[in-house]
């Protein structure tokens, strides 16, 4: 049977389980996950290679994780929404993921309208079925089937791994014949320095409260690798001095806690010894700075690094 491949965008409102699903499908943590809305800020691609078996072709699925659909009320949020539209434009299939335990609300309707305008086949994923009463599942499927002509409606639990083999099987069947877009051992398109900045940001999201998690950005300014050690120097940008004080904590305790947690996870993910130093800087109104927000995109950062390398 012919090899199949394609790009599959994962779309949904905040906290529907998009990044958890991507990590579960890939089998490694490539996207950060917290319970806070807007954890994901950019598109992240994860590659899954599917083996052939009776009645199914071998193939490569390139999943595209996206930010949750939300109100675009700042330059940062508008950039995040543009990432979603980009993912809708460049795909062979859309996965609309919803929380099966919550009512279909305004945010879900907003996502569905975006998908309808984009056209193309859509799989509806009813996530978190491990928390749903079994007798409630069939009525829920019937209810959702009236909203749109979905190509498939698949109950899953991204956390428990339930329904994921069925999902992969149906995706491969729906994709066209095509090439292998990425090497078989490559799990994601994002570089390790971007993963490092995201892991640090995840720890800030988990270990701080109120407005602080939404007012920070993390930039890795230095990433040097040797055989035994990777040196990482990162800056957490915030908008006010009060936020900086919270991030640093009394006697530097909070920043140390964030750094230690990030370093331990990076060492596990990268299988390397990590030397990590983190600084905190105030950049008032950075979320409204188009240039700064654009430079947070790791693709732009790679362009800057390539330009510097040529100049050196």
Q: Residue 113: pLDDT above 60?
A: yes
Question: Mean of the pLDDT values across residues 4-19?
Answer: 90
Q: Which H helix or E strand runs over 212?
A: none
162: Cα separation from own chain's centroid = 20
Alpha carbon separation from 257 to 220, 242, 251 (Å, rounded): 18, 18, 12
237: Cα separation from own chain's centroid = 21
Distance CA 213, CA 37 (A): 10
Q: pTM of the prediction?
A: 0.84
Helix (H, G, I), strand (E, B) or coil at 182: coil
Question: Mean of the pLDDT values across residues 263-280?
Answer: 95
DSSP-derived letter for residue 190 is S
Rounded to the nearest integer, the mean pLDDT of the chain is 88
**Residue 90's pLDDT band (cuts 50, 70, 90):** low
User: What φ, ψ does residue 274 adopt, rounded to 5°?
Assistant: -120, 130
- List, as one string, the DSSP characters of 63-109: EEE-PPP----SHHHHHHHHHHHHHHHS-SEEEEEEETTS---HHHH
List the single range of 29-33, 291-295, 296-300 with lowest mean pLDDT.
296-300
- The answer to whether 24 and 161 have CB atoms below 8 angstroms apart is yes
Q: What is the pLDDT of residues 141-196, one digit of tens each?
A: 999 999 999 999 999 999 999 999 999 999 999 999 999 999 999 999 888 888 99
pLDDT of res. 32: 79
Q: Which H helix or E strand runs over 293?
A: helix 290-295
The domain over range 4-174 is classified in CATH as 3.40.50.2300: no
Question: Mean of the pLDDT values across residues 260-278?
Answer: 95
Q: Residue 298: pLDDT above 70?
A: no
Domain segments of the chain as ranges: 4-174, 192-311
Q: Give the CA dihedral 74, 75, 76, 80, nearest 10 degrees.
A: 100
pLDDT of res. 105: 83
Q: What is the pLDDT of residues 22-78, one digit of tens each?
A: 999 999 998 878 787 767 667 788 999 999 988 889 999 999 888 766 455 567 767
Pick the CATH number of 192-311 from 3.40.50.300, 3.40.50.720, 3.30.300.20, 1.10.1840.10: 3.30.300.20
List the single range of 106-115, 216-225, 256-265 with lowest mean pLDDT.
106-115
């Amino acid at each position: 049977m012919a090899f199949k491949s394609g790009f599959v965008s994962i779309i949904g409102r905040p906290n529907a389980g998009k990044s958890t699903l991507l990590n579960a499908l890939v089998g490694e943590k490539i996207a950060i996950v917290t319970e806070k809305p807007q954890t994901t800020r950019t598109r992240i691609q994860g590659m899954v290679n599917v083996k052939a078996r009776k009645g199914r072709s071998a193939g490569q699925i390139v999943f595209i994780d996206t930010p949750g659909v939300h109100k675009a009320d700042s330059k940062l949020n508008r950039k995040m929404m543009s990432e979603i539209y980009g993912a809708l434009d460049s795909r062979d299939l859309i996965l609309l993921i919803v929380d099966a335990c919550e009512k279909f609300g305004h945010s879900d309707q907003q996502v569905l309208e975006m998908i309808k305008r984009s056209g193309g086949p859509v799989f509806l994923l009813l996530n978190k079925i491990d928390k749903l009463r079994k007798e409630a599942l069939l009525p829920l499927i019937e209810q959702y089937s009236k909203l749109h002509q979905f190509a498939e409606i698949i109950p899953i639990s991204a956390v428990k791994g339930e329904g994921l083999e069925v999902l992969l099987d149906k995706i491969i069947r729906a994709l066209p014949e095509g090439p292998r877009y990425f090497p078989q051992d490559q799990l994601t398109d994002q570089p390790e320095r971007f993963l490092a900045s995201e892991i640090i940001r995840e720890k800030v999201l988990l270990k701080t409260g109120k407005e602080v998690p939404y007012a920070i950005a993390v930039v890795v300014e230095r990433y040097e690798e040797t055989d035994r050690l990777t040196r990482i120097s990162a800056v957490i940008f915030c908008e006010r001095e009060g936020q900086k004080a919270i991030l640093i904590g009394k006697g530097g305790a909070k920043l140390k806690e964030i750094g230690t947690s990030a370093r331990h996870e990076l060492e596990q993910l990268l299988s390397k010894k990590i030397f990590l130093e983190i600084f905190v800087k105030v950049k008032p109104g950075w979320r409204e700075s188009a240039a700064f927000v654009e430079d947070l995109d790791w693709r732009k950062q790679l362009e800057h690094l390539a330009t510097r390398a040529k100049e050196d």
